[in-house]
Structure 1
Amino acid sequence: MTRTRWGGLLALGLLAACTPTRDEAPAQSAPAPESLRAEGFSALKDATVTLYPGHCAGVIVADGHHALTAAHCIRGEPGSRQPVVLREGQLMGGEVKVVDVLRDVAVIRLDTLAPVHPLAVASTPPTPGMELLFAGRNDRPGQPQEIELRRLGRCPSLPDVPQALFTSLRGAKGDSGAPVVDEHLRVVGLVHGGAACSIAAPTVEVSPLLDMLVAEVARPDAQQGVGGSGSAP
């Protein structure tokens, strides 16, 4: 994919955060595609977190009160504490709400609202040949990688996932749990592992569960019944 095309596509992913309100004056001129591309990359890096202590990555999603990471990165059970570190070094406390070991997806509820723009989780799966974006841990330098979803298939370490994401990303040790996003900056997968950390666990099935968790935050007096280990509903 050319840089110009990524600039235009990433612009769509930024509209939710950047659309002016009725009282705001419109911009004098549209930013150049390269500028939009840089803004999209920055938004991805800002939403990516490092689990504390720094052994894995994750991503702030949904309402900004939740983060996704790989289940194999969580060292405790649901209800245990798991802090995360933002790109600028801010430490945020969090509670593990869900650990789905069979799909390698976990959800952390942050104690406070994260001061970054959260990313949405895609409600439909990606298709082979789709061009995606990967940033890796936020405490490492470098630009996000423009990658390809090469195929969908079985991965022995993801027994409940019939269509794991086999990608062209070049990960490094500690990138587990880092997000893989589509052209609209929607999370479609989390780095699972494999040769050079190129396999991602899909996140499409966690989208309804996130909606339930977000609703809990909106109704703090409601019974806190969402969570658990094993497979997510």
Structure 2
Amino acid sequence: MNTPLEQFLIKPIFRIYNNWIDFTITNSTIYLIIGISLILIIFNLAFKDNKLIKGRWGLVLETTYKKIEEIAKEMIPGEYKRYIPFTIILFLFILTNNLIGLVPYSFTTTAHFIVTITLSLTIMIGVTIIGVVKHKFNFINLFIPQGLNQGFLRLMIPLIFFIEVLSYLMRVISLSVRLAANLLSGHTLLKIIANFGLKYTISFPILLILPLGLLSAIYVLEIGVAIIQAYVFTLLTTTYIKDAELLH
């Protein structure tokens, strides 16, 4: 690997290409499948006959469920139960792919903007549909803050409406960039330090202790970042669902 960014290259593994079809399986596709498969395996190990088994994986899922339920209940009182399955799967999907990227010589799918923006765009389309179906034309009130229709403030409604709509659309970008950028920067830093350790300490192995210690510390930090970014993504998604449900 010549550069730290080379680890993020998407490479075709299998391709069918002709005048009628262009079907390509890349390393990103493979790792996305691995991530989904791991989630299914965890659920299979944790559940038996539709009952939660109190094993290691059962405790992980139970703890995750309780935390997600607390977030949803606080954000969307009265409507939260219908969104718990989605938010749990979303959290586990992002977390699993984040952690897979920390395995040496693996591939980080969630460090790619195309993956995260597709995920965030899908979420925002779904959230918008929820708001429109539930509130019909009143969904437009989401973009007009309360108390703005009095006196001189009425003149500001078009400007505020435009800003709110723009802010709403930018959620797609902010949600995706936040996740991809954090993972991209962290993994790049890990690769730079690893290359430094191998290149400049090969003649003096004793000096390897410094980059190795630093690498270990950053690796632990990256595990924390992987968990936090999955949590933040899920939390923001729940916030957007709340806006669609309650319009405030």
- TM-score of the pair, normalised by structure 2: 0.22
Which structure: greater strand fraction?
A: 1
- TM-score of the pair, normalised by structure 1: 0.23
Higher relative contact order (CA 8 A, sep 6+): 2
Q: Which has the larger radius of gyration?
A: 2
Which structure: greater helix fraction?
A: 2
